[in-house]
Amino acid sequence: MARLLFFGKLGELAGGREREMPLPVGVNTLSDLIKAIEQDDPVLGNAISEISVRYVVNENITDRFVSISERDEIGFLPPVSGG
């Protein structure tokens, strides 16, 4: 199962900071996973689709077109603010 990590406000929208899930059939890229999440949970899906969200796969910042597998750890990072 893939391990999904949601940081900041995304954790609140996801109902928790972490979840494990099998990748649905046909999900081969991070973009595919985001679309699957959007279908299941439109609010969370829209939030992780925002252009300001960064994606991390196995501790490497990447774009949404990277290939993913069941063994991956996938993080969704919202923009950071502060002063």
Radius of gyration over every alpha carbon of the chain, rounded to an integer in angstroms: 12
Domain contains 53: yes
pTM of the model: 0.91
Distance CA 76, CA 60 (A): 12
pLDDT for residue 82 is more than 60: no
What is residue 25's three-state secondary structure?
A: coil
Domain contains 7: yes
Strand order in the sheet with 60-62: 18-21, 2-6, 73-77, 54-57, 60-62
Domain contains 60: yes
pLDDT in tens, 31-65: 999 999 999 999 999 999 999 999 999 999 999 99
Domain contains 17: yes
The domain that holds 10 is classified in CATH as 3.10.20.30
The parent domain of residue 18 ranges over 2-77
Domain contains 82: no
Summary mean pLDDT of the chain = 95
